[in-house]
Structure 1
């Protein structure tokens, strides 16, 4: 009886580990065939998203892993000087880190917080917000999200 109980506990633990490992691989699949890579910033090839700020400038992106259009991803986002988005939302939460220069990411009618390199923000899904680049040289941020990056203008809310 005691051996059966130990066996059941061991099988449950093994199943938990297997499911956890499968989920981790599903969310963060290895890129480039699982090979370690190093890419200098000078070799990043930014592409248009079609998303435009109030001044007509676009957000440019490079996916570090995944694909921001349809899956979990880690993506570099480049904003030109003076970029200010209209109020918008995304279906899913995301996390952002300022890599270059100074930005703001805020909900309308809320306190503005200037964020320089290394600053971090969390953006809840289905919450209206505005993103701005405050620097003369443009801004770069790193965004991580467990689902696609689907901008909604005007914003959708809960």
Structure 2
């Protein structure tokens, strides 16, 4: 017993203790994230993306996915969806193989077309002999129910940009006879006439109106020309619109984008919802041109009209 008591005294003298080690201090109160804590994990989530109303940018033909119009004919015409749905309408790229002749046919819906590349011909019944190859940037409006034909002349495939007002269908009409043009309209690139959008700024933005009346609340199609290094500043429109780049190197940008957007090349497409601020500028040394289709009307609202 004496030996045990002596050993205990020596142990205590050397700083030993049979007590539990001191308790570590509690972490400070606050927002320290804790694994498995839903409230803490929520605080660590990335901020919500900016609300642009569904704005969309497609950088060009090389960025799309093609699918055959006729699944049983992979070598035939190809369609790429840019916005919307082939069953209800929207914006699309249509690729016609070199040398293809569609034959006379109709579509139920009206559509607008702009040549992206190749040398296509477009004509009404009886007009195939006089039809000429169309240069990139040429436009036509084809009313639904009117017989017409298309041909991709030359050695290269033809790519067309289409805005369909309804579903995409195809009805052959090989025996159709020549008829009045009606609302049909074709404007070759070289025949477009540009006027200042603001008469007070003759050297500012210009437009060639090819469809509709810009002074009325109705759908409008036009080619807009932005001068070299021109910048529209932030603005919005009442209507949704679709745009296809024809010339130059523009940038279409949203308020949250750094450096006012990224420049895009010919063939780029964007969809801009109405009521949301955006801007447009031309970075090239020559004018930038884009075909614009306003779904309802044309107006211009400077400043912060962005929806919250």
**Of 279, 290, 308, which aligns to 1:130?**
279
Q: Which residue does the alignment assign to 2:244? A: 97
**Of 235, 240, 249, which aligns to 1:88?**
235
Give me the TM-score of the superposition, normalised by structure 1. Answer: 0.71
Q: 1:124 to 1:59 in 2, by over 3 A?
A: same
Between the two proteins, the alignment pairs up a number of residues equal to 131
Q: For residues 23-62 of structure 1, what are the structure 2 equivalents within 5 Å?
A: 24=109, 30=143, 33-35=182-184, 37=186, 39-50=187-198, 57-62=203-208
CA distance in 1: counterparts of 2:304 and 2:214, whole angstroms: 19
Q: Which residue does the alignment assign to 1:142? A: 291
Q: Which residue does the alignment assign to 1:67? A: 213
Q: Give yes or no for contact 1:57–1:83 (8 Å, CA) kept in 2.
A: no
CA distance in 1: counterparts of 2:264 and 2:213, whole angstroms: 26
Give, in angstroms, the shift of residue 35 of structure 1: 4.4
CA distance in 2: counterparts of 1:114 and 1:108, whole angstroms: 15
- Where structure 2 has 5 or more consecutive residues not aligned to the other structure, the ranges are 1-107, 111-140, 144-180
CA distance in 1: counterparts of 2:256 and 2:272, whole angstroms: 16
Q: 1:142 to 1:36 in 2, by over 3 A?
A: closer
- Where structure 1 has 5 or more consecutive residues not aligned to the other structure, the ranges are 1-20
Give me the TM-score of the superposition, normalised by structure 2. Answer: 0.38
SS of the residue 1:42 aligns to: helix
1:121 aligns with 2:241: no
Structure 1 or 2: larger helix share? 1
CA distance in 1: counterparts of 2:184 and 2:238, whole angstroms: 32
User: Which structure ranks higher in relative contact order (CA pairs < 8 Å, sequence separation ≥ 6)?
Assistant: 1
CA distance in 2: counterparts of 1:129 and 1:34, whole angstroms: 33
CA distance in 1: counterparts of 2:214 and 2:142, whole angstroms: 14
CA deviations on 1:87-133 (whole Å, 9 max, x unpaired) are 10001110101000111111122152221100001111111111001
CA deviations on 1:44-77 (whole Å, 9 max, x unpaired) are 1101111899xx9521111121123322022110
Please provide the CA RMSD for this pair: 2.7
